[in-house]
Structure 1
Amino acid sequence: MPHDVIVVGGGYAGMAAALQLLRARRDVLVIDAGERRNRFADRSHGFLGFDGENPAAIAATARRQLEAYPTLSWVEDRVTGASGTQDDFMVTTAAGGRHTTRRLILATGVADTLPDLPGLAERWGRSAFHCPYCHGYELDKGPVAVIATGQTSLHQGLFLPEWGPTTFFTNASIDLTGENRAELAARGATVEDVPVERLEGTADVILADGRRMTFAGIFVAPVTAPATPVGEMLDLVHDETPMGRMIRADDTRQTSLAGCFACGDLARFPHSVSLAVGDGAWTGAQVHRSLMF
C-alpha cells in the first residue's frame, strides 16, 4: 500500500509539514539524510519558544514529538530517485529502499555556495553569517563586516548598521554607484574598496594591503541552490533569483508537478527556522486538503 505522503527532508519545514498530516491521521513517511543547513551553528535565534537553543536539540525534540504519532515512519537515508505523478509517486533511496506514495513533499532545504575566501568556511555559522535577525543581536552592537559577493550584498550593507558599526567591503564583487555609496553613508556604513585577502582569528579581516581589521561578526550573502537534485529528477520548474536557485511553488506550495509540493528554504526566501516551520505547517495542511478533495 502506498503512503499517503512522503516527506523528503526531515528538517524544520519537513517536520512541520509532517505534523499537520499526522494529526489528520494520515500515513506519513519522512526520509532524511541528516544534513540540516544550520548544523554548523551552536545556537538558533528568533524562533519563538526556542530562542538561543541548540538547533540540533530543537530538531531532536521535534522528531520525538512526531514519533508519538503511530502513523509516522522515518527512514534515515538519502533519496537517489523520484518519479511519477499525483497518486502514483515512487521514491528510491541509497540503501535500496523503494517507497510509493500518493503525495510528495520536498523539504530538503538548500546548500550554500560561499565565495572562495580563505578562512570563511571554517567560520561559517560561528562568526560569519548570512542573517542579521538570526545572529546580529549576539554581536552586542560590536563592529560588523559585510563582505560583498554581488548586488544582494548591498541589502546587507544597508541593513546591518542597525546591529553595529558596519564596514562594507566591495571586494571586487560589486560596482557601487555614487547613489549606492551615499545610501550606505546615510546609514552609517563605511565603504572599503581594498580587496579582502583572508579571514583570521574569530572575525578578523586581512586586506590585500596588509591591514587587519577586527570585527564582532562577518556577514556574507551566499548563493543558494536546492541541497539535493530531487527537483531535477521530477523535472520541476525552478526559478533563478538574486539569492540563487529555488523550486517554484504556488500559494498552496504545489510545484509544477501535480501532487508534488515544496516548502522551506528550497521554495521560498528569506530563510530562517521560524519561516521554514510556518511554511511547512501551511504546506502540510494544503497537502491534506488535496488528499481530501
Structure 2
Amino acid sequence: MNDTAQHDSPLHDTAQHDALVIGGGPAGLQATLSLARVHRTVLHLDSGVYRNAPERHLHNLIGHDGQDPAELRAAARRDIAAYGTVTSVAARVVSLTGEADDFTAVLDDGSTRRARHVVLATGVRDELPPIEGLTELWGRGVAHCPFCHGHELSGGAAGVIGTVPGHLLHLAGFFPRISRTFDVFSHGTAVDAETRAVLDAYGATVHDQVVERVTPQGEGLVVHLAAADPVRLDGVFVAPTVHQAAPFAEQLGLEVSAMGSILVDAFARTSVPGVYAAGDAAHHRDLPMAMASVANAIGAGALAGGVCVADLMVADRAALLAPTAGR
C-alpha cells in the first residue's frame, strides 16, 4: 500500500483532495485507480477490514480464479502506488460530514481530511444464523455464494441451512448439477408442501430438525441435529443477513433500501450530490437485491470513479466560467 501519508500527516489536513475513497476492497481500489489514471488527487482510506478476509480463495473472476483475496488487494495497491496523485492511508473513518465540494472525514486518530467528492466502498458485515460453529467455519466450509464456492463441492456432499423457503429453493437449485448429494436443513421451520415438492424433485434430503451446531471434520464438517443423526458434508451454504459495515449512510442522510443498502442510480450516484457508492454496500435502485461479487465490485468501482471524475469536470467548468459571468 502507498502509505506515504500514513499517520505522519498533520492532525488537520488543510489540503482538499478531489476525491475521498473509503474502502480497501475491490470496489474502493478500482475507484481509486480510475481517478488516479486521469490525475485527480485522491485520498484512499483503508481500514484493513474486508468482508472476504476469512476466504482462502476467490472465484468467478477471470484471470484470478482461485487466488487468495489478499494477493489481489496487494497487486491493486502496487498498481495504485505508481500514481503520484494518490495518497493512501491505513485508517478507519469514524465520521463523515459535509456536502458536495466540501466533505470532511474524521479518522480514528482524531485527524481530519477534506475532499470535494466521496466514493463509499465500505462493504457490508455478514450476520450468520445463531448456530454454534457457523462463525468459526465461515470461509472454511460454510459459505453463502455458489458462484464463488459451489464448484469446489463437485461430486461431494453439500448442504443448505435456512428457514426462509425462497432462500432454501434458491440455494438448493444450484446443487443437482454440482454435488453428488445435498441436504436441506430447515432448522426447525416447517417446510410447506410446495417447497418440499420442489426440493424432492431436486433430489434433496430434507431435515426439519433444529440444527444444534456445526463442527469441523477433516476437510469437511458435520451438522448436528436435535434428536437425529449428525450429517457429514463437504460444505454448507447459508443466507446471512447483511448490514452496512460503516455508519456513513446515516451520517450523510443517504437513501437506503429496505435491506439497508445504499441506493444508487445507474451511474453510482447516491441521493446526496457528490457522494457515490460501489461494491457490496450499494444497491442499484432498479434491481431487486444487491448483486455482490468481486467482479461486480470492480466494475462498480470503475463506474463510481469515472462518474465522480465527470461530475468534478462539470464543477470545474462552472468555476472556470464564473469570473466571466455578468460581463
TM-score range, shorter chain: over 0.9
What is the alpha-carbon distance in structure 2 between the residues aligned to residue 117 and residue 225 of structure 1? 19
Seen in structure 2, the aligned counterparts of structure 1 residues 240 and 153 have a Cα distance that, compared at 3 Å, is farther
Report the TM-score when normalising by structure 1. 0.95
Give the aligned residue type for 1:271: A
Give the aligned residue type for 1:238: V
Structure 1 vs Structure 2 CA RMSD: 1.3
Q: Note the C-alpha offset of 1:188.
A: 2.2
Which residue is equivalent to 2:153? 139
Give the aligned residue type for 2:297: A
Higher deviation after alignment, 266-275 or 59-68 = 266-275
Of 83, 105, 112, 1:91 maps to 105
What is the alpha-carbon distance in structure 2 between the residues aligned to residue 9 and residue 153 of structure 1? 32
Which residue is equivalent to 1:199? 214
What is the alpha-carbon distance in structure 2 between the residues aligned to residue 273 and residue 228 of structure 1? 19
Of 16, 25, 28, 1:2 maps to 16
- The answer to whether the Cα contact below 8 Å between 2:119 and 2:276 also exists between their aligned partners in 1 is yes
- The answer to whether the Cα contact below 8 Å between 2:57 and 2:66 also exists between their aligned partners in 1 is yes
Give the aligned residue type for 1:139: L
- Structure 1: gaps spanning 5 or more residues: none
Bigger-Rg structure (1/2): 2
Which residue is equivalent to 1:61? 75
What is the alpha-carbon distance in structure 2 between the residues aligned to residue 46 and residue 34 of structure 1? 23
Aligned pair 1:283/2:304, yes or no?
A: yes
Q: Note the C-alpha offset of 1:74.
A: 0.7
5 Å-filtered alignment, 1:119-198, equals 119-150=133-164, 151-164=166-179, 165-173=181-189, 175-198=190-213
SS of the residue corresponding to residue 52 of structure 2 reads: helix
- The answer to whether the Cα contact below 8 Å between 1:196 and 1:207 also exists between their aligned partners in 2 is yes
Higher deviation after alignment, 130-139 or 157-166 = 157-166
- Runs (4 or more) in structure 1 with deviation over 6 Å come to none
Task: Report sequence identity in percent.
Answer: 40
- The answer to whether the Cα contact below 8 Å between 1:264 and 1:277 also exists between their aligned partners in 2 is yes
- The answer to whether the Cα contact below 8 Å between 1:158 and 1:189 also exists between their aligned partners in 2 is no
Which residue is equivalent to 2:29? 15
SS of the residue corresponding to residue 126 of structure 1 reads: coil
SS of the residue corresponding to residue 248 of structure 1 reads: strand
What is the alpha-carbon distance in structure 1 between the residues aligned to residue 263 and residue 41 of structure 2? 26
Report the TM-score when normalising by structure 2. 0.85
Q: Note the C-alpha offset of 1:159.
A: 2.5
What is the alpha-carbon distance in structure 1 between the residues aligned to residue 155 and residue 30 of structure 2? 34
SS of the residue corresponding to residue 152 of structure 1 reads: helix
Which residue is equivalent to 1:265? 280
- Structure 2: gaps spanning 5 or more residues: 1-14, 284-289, 315-327
Bigger relative contact order, structure 1 or 2 (CA pairs below 8 A, ≥6 apart): 1
Which residue is equivalent to 2:295? 274
What is the alpha-carbon distance in structure 2 between the residues aligned to residue 285 and residue 230 of structure 1? 21
- The answer to whether the Cα contact below 8 Å between 1:148 and 1:154 also exists between their aligned partners in 2 is no
Give the aligned residue type for 2:231: M
Deviations 1:223-255 (A, max 9, x none): 0011111111111111123xxx21111111111
Give the aligned residue type for 1:78: R
